[in-house]
């Protein structure tokens, strides 16, 4: 819907909105005047949640801010829990029953209530004290509890009443909680703000102490179990030490490990010597191979040849060197034989004269003998070193077994010892926790203390009267505006030309405002002269009809049928008013009432009902028509009336009826206006459309468009040559320009 239209609707209803605004302001003022004064008392409590000393099954504790937030929320909800509120209610009722200065005094009307008259006050006191002691709630199915319950509600000490005035909130970023209570009595407010903390601690202790005792029992059970575990581990370690047969197997292992290190070092040295001997032996072998190769190419003539004997001795030494190596190089007999053979070879070489030119060969032979001797020594050393290596390997393996055998047992013993130490440490912590629990509060998390007593307030809370009155007035202002807008949105009537065009998709010839024909007759609206005030209320109505007259004149249609979709849309008023405007413009007009279902036009002008009876032969002239017309009180306007009946024009009109001769009447009248029945329920207008030049449909702004109306509009759109447009009637004067 158009926002501008809604705004104008609100402006149009401004007095209604202003009245609602004033009503809201008055209501707020009255509420402020009769609103009871409230006294608020505040007590402050320290929760001690930041303190970590408590009975706990955990051996370590971490300061967790999120966990503390959860605890604060739990405490606040516990303050508002039914059991805590009920305990406060019971205490208040007991106070008023016993005290000479009760917080609330019953009125005479309340004392006449059956709950008060039938109450057994001594029994009620006993029940209240018993409930306060046991922290139990009243049960409404028990007659005695029901009696106390009714009495408590009579004093307005029920849980909803207490909760209504109670405020529990945490002081931001602190360990404190503020508990406030508002009531009509300052002493009552202070009493509740202090007493609810006491009842909260009683209830909280009743919950947590049971859990703490269970935790202590469980802690003691864990300590006993851990003690048994320590005894078991200690016995296991002792049995293992008895099994290995020495108080300390680490001594043997340490000695063996020391010997193992020495043998390993010696073995490494022998392996290094062996490698050195093998390399030197390989070098001597290569030198001997080279000397033998050179000796074959040297020519010498010895005087006395002992070569064969020397060769035998050398071979003998080689055999002896092999035997000596097999015996580890420590056989003195074999070593002596080798030395004797070497001396013999030396003597034979000296006693053998050599011819001139053989001195170089002799030197080469001597060098060769030296290499052979060195070769034999190296072979003996290699054999001895090899035997030493094998011996060291055996002893290393022996000491390794001793060292690692004792070390493995020690590892096992150390593992047993570590298990025992851990278990003993845990047992000590359990003992410490149980011992510490004897010196602190048995409720975990509960170092709950009241650090600020709630005092009876001296002055009541500010009533904020200006704010209340303003809110009341603005609320009525917005609610009334919203209500008017909702009504407009729910209204589906054709109240403005814009809405009409959106709904029907047809052009509007003119919008005619709403007039009151009960207070002023239609002719009186046209009783004015050129000097009349143009601001007169009737002028907009006249001007819109002049627009309609102009549109019809511009269309060139002289015989126009006026119809509507529904009955009672104002066709007759439009036709009569249009006749007045044509008369004002010096036009001669003939009105034909063809609305057989409702001949209002005939009755308004007291016309003769001659339409159904008139028949005109071809020889008849127009003079015959003058006999069926009736003069009206409008200048230059005549009318032909009809009877009212349940029939259509084709059923009642005779052969060669008047409508067939309208062309002849055009010579005597400027415009012929025909009124037909509603399209939705009658076929009259569809039959009359065959005899006219143009069709104008009238809609009332008070009605809506439904499916049958759309069918009628479809009929008019199909006859585009004759359909001129629509007239929106009964439009509110303030909606004419929308």
What average pLDDT does this structure show over 77-91?
Answer: 90
What average pLDDT does this structure show over 109-137?
Answer: 87
Contact (CB, 8 A) for 662 and 529: no
Reported as a pLDDT band with limits 50, 70 and 90, residue 590 is very high
Gap between the Cα atoms of 355 and 680, Å rounded: 167
Residue 534, number of CB atoms within 10 A of its CB: 9
Cβ burial 142-175 (10 Å sphere, 16+ → b, else e): eeebebbbbbbbbbbbbbebbeebbebebeeeeb
If you average pLDDT over every residue of the chain, what do you get? 79
Contact (CB, 8 A) for 573 and 579: no
Q: Per-residue DSSP letters for 126-188?
A: HHHHHHHHHT----TTSHHHHHHHHHHHHTT-SHHHHHHHEEEEEPTTSSEEEEEEEES-HHH
Q: Which has more confidence, 288 or 662? A: 662
Over the stretch 553-584, which tens digit does the pLDDT of each residue have? Answer: 999 999 999 999 888 888 999 999 999 999 99
The two tokens of residue 226 are 């851990």
Over the stretch 531-548, which tens digit does the pLDDT of each residue have? Answer: 555 455 567 788 888 999
Residue 498, number of CB atoms within 10 A of its CB: 17
Confidence (pLDDT) at 272 = 77
Instruction: Examine the pLDDT at 60 and tell me if it is beyond 50.
Output: no
Instruction: Examine the pLDDT at 42 and tell me if it is beyond 60.
Output: yes
Q: Which has more confidence, 363 or 200? A: 200
Instruction: Examine the pLDDT at 738 and tell me if it is beyond 80.
Output: no
Residues paired with residue 725 on neighbouring β-strands, in sequence order? 696
Contact (CB, 8 A) for 60 and 84: no
Strand pairing class (694-700; 723-731): parallel
Confidence (pLDDT) at 736 = 66
Q: Which has more confidence, 593 or 233? A: 593
Confidence (pLDDT) at 70 = 81
Reported as a pLDDT band with limits 50, 70 and 90, residue 301 is very low
Cβ burial 627-654 (10 Å sphere, 16+ → b, else e): ebbbebebebbbbbbbeeeeebbeebbe
- Predicted TM-score of the model (pTM): 0.47
Contact (CB, 8 A) for 165 and 135: no
Gap between the Cα atoms of 698 and 680, Å rounded: 13
- Could you tell me the sign of the dihedral formed by the alpha carbons of 617, 618, 621, 625, in that order? positive
Q: Which has more confidence, 5 or 151? A: 151
Reported as a pLDDT band with limits 50, 70 and 90, residue 321 is confident
Instruction: Examine the pLDDT at 356 and tell me if it is beyond 70.
Output: no
Confidence (pLDDT) at 355 = 42
Comparing CA positions, the residue from 574, 561, 583 lying closest to residue 632 is 583
Q: Which has more confidence, 4 or 688? A: 688
Instruction: Examine the pLDDT at 517 and tell me if it is beyond 60.
Output: yes
Q: Which has more confidence, 651 or 433? A: 651
* Longest Cα separation, the chain: 199
DSSP-assigned letter for residue 552: H
Reported as a pLDDT band with limits 50, 70 and 90, residue 29 is confident
Contact (CB, 8 A) for 541 and 512: yes
SS3 call for 612: coil
Domain 494-735 matching CATH 3.40.50.300: the answer reads yes
Comparing CA positions, the residue from 575, 594, 677, 678 lying closest to residue 641 is 594
Instruction: Examine the pLDDT at 57 and tell me if it is beyond 50.
Output: no
What average pLDDT does this structure show over 481-500?
Answer: 82
SS3 call for 462: coil
Residue 65, number of CB atoms within 10 A of its CB: 8
Over the stretch 394-453, which tens digit does the pLDDT of each residue have? Answer: 777 776 766 655 555 665 666 667 777 777 777 676 666 665 555 444 444 457 788 888
CA end-to-end span of the chain: 12
What average pLDDT does this structure show over 110-118?
Answer: 88
Residues in the chain: 738
Q: Which has more confidence, 5 or 677? A: 677
Strand order through the sheet with 176-183: 166-170, 176-183, 39-46, 449-452
The radius of gyration of the chain's CA atoms, rounded to the nearest angstrom, is 66
What average pLDDT does this structure show over 84-103?
Answer: 90
SS3 call for 510: strand
Contact (CB, 8 A) for 189 and 41: yes
Gap between the Cα atoms of 265 and 233, Å rounded: 41
Contact (CB, 8 A) for 309 and 348: yes
Contact (CB, 8 A) for 457 and 41: yes
Instruction: Examine the pLDDT at 119 and tell me if it is beyond 50.
Output: yes
Residues paired with residue 178 on neighbouring β-strands, in sequence order? 44, 169
Instruction: Examine the pLDDT at 328 and tell me if it is beyond 80.
Output: no
Q: What percent of the chain has pLDDT over 90?
A: 15
Instruction: Examine the pLDDT at 508 and tell me if it is beyond 70.
Output: yes
Instruction: Examine the pLDDT at 528 and tell me if it is beyond 50.
Output: yes
What average pLDDT does this structure show over 107-116?
Answer: 88
The two tokens of residue 335 are 């070593």
Tokens 């072998």 found at: 285
Tokens 């009877």 found at: 643
Confidence (pLDDT) at 56 = 47
Tokens 């805590």 found at: 84
Residue 282, number of CB atoms within 10 A of its CB: 10
Alpha carbon 679 to chain centroid, angstroms: 58
Q: What percent of the chain has pLDDT over 70?
A: 79
């Amino acid at each position: 819907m158009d926002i501008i239209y809604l705004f104008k609707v609100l402006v149009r209803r401004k007095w209604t909105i202003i009245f609602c605004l004033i009503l809201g302001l008055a209501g707020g003022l009255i509420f402020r005047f009769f609103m009871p004064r409230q006294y608020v008392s505040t007590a402050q409590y320290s929760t001690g949640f930041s303190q970590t000393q408590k009975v706990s099954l955990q051996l370590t504790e971490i300061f967790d801010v999120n966990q503390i937030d959860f605890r604060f929320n739990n405490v606040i909800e516990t303050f508002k829990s039914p059991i805590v509120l009920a305990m406060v209610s019971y205490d208040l009722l007991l106070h008023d029953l016993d005290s000479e200065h009760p917080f609330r005094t019953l009125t005479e009307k309340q004392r006449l209530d059956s709950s008060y008259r039938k109450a057994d006050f001594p029994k009620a006191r006993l029940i209240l004290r018993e409930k306060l002691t046991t922290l139990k709630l009243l049960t409404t199915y028990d007659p005695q509890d029901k009696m106390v319950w009714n009495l408590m509600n009579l004093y307005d000490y029920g849980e909803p009443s207490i909760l209504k005035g109670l405020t529990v909130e945490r002081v931001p970023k602190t360990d404190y909680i503020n508990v406030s209570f508002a009531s009509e009595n300052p002493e009552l407010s202070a009493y509740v703000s202090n007493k609810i903390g006491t009842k909260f601690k009683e209830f909280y202790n009743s919950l947590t102490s049971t859990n703490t005792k269970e935790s202590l029992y469980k802690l003691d059970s864990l300590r006993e179990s851990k003690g048994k575990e320590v005894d078991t581990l200690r016995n296991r370690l002792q049995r293992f030490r008895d099994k290995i047969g020495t108080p300390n197997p680490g001594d043997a292992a340490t000695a063996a490990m020391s010997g193992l290190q020495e043998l390993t070092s010696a073995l490494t040295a022998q392996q290094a010597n062996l490698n050195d001997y093998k390399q030197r032996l390989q070098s001597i072998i290569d030198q001997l191979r080279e000397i033998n190769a050179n000796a074959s190419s040297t020519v010498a003539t010895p005087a006395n040849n002992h070569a064969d004997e020397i060769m035998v001795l050398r071979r003998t030494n080689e055999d002896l060197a092999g035997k000596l190596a097999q015996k580890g190089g420590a056989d003195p007999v074999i070593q002596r034989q080798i030395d004797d053979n070497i001396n013999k070879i030396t003597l034979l070489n000296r006693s053998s004269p050599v011819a001139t030119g053989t001195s170089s060969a002799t030197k080469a032979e001597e060098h060769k003998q030296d290499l052979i001797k060195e070769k034999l020594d190296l072979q003996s050393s290699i054999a001895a070193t090899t035997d030493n290596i094998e011996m060291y390997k055996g002893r290393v393996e022996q000491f390794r077994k001793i060292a690692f055998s004792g070390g493995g047992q020690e590892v096992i013993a150390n593992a047993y010892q570590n298990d025992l130490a851990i278990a003993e440490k845990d047992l000590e912590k359990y003992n410490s926790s149980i011992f510490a629990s004897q010196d602190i509060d048995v409720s975990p998390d509960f170092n709950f203390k009241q650090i600020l007593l709630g005092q009876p307030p001296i002055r009541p809370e500010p009533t904020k009267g200006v704010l209340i009155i303003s809110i009341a007035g603005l609320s009525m202002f917005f609610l009334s505006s919203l209500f008017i807008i909702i009504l407009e949105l729910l209204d589906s009537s054709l109240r403005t030309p814009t809405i009409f065009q959106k709904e029907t998709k047809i052009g509007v010839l003119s919008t005619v405002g709403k007039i009151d024909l009960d207070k002023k007759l239609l002719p009186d609206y046209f009783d004015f002269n050129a000097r009349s005030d143009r601001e007169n209320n009737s002028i907009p109505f006249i001007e819109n009809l002049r627009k309609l007259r102009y549109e019809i004149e511009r269309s060139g249609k002289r015989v126009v049928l006026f119809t509507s979709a529904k009955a009672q849309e104002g066709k007759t008023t439009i036709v009569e008013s249009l006749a007045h405007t044509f008369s004002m413009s010096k036009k001669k007009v003939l009105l034909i009432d063809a609305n057989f279902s409702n001949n209002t036009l005939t009755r308004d002008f007291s016309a003769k009902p001659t339409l159904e009876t008139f028949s005109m032969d071809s020889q008849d002239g127009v003079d015959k028509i003058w006999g069926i017309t009736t003069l009206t009180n409008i200048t230059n306007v005549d009318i032909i009336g009809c009877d009212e009946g349940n029939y259509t024009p084709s059923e009642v009109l005779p052969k060669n009826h008047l409508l067939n001769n309208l062309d002849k009447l055009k010579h005597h009248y400027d415009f012929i206006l025909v009124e037909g029945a509603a399209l939705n329920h009658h076929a009259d207008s569809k039959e009359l459309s065959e005899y006219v030049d143009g069709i104008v449909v009238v809609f009332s702004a008070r009605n809506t468009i439904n499916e049958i109306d759309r069918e009628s509009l479809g009929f008019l759109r199909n006859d585009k040559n004759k359909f001129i447009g629509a007239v929106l009637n009964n439009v509110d004067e303030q909606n004419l320009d929308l």
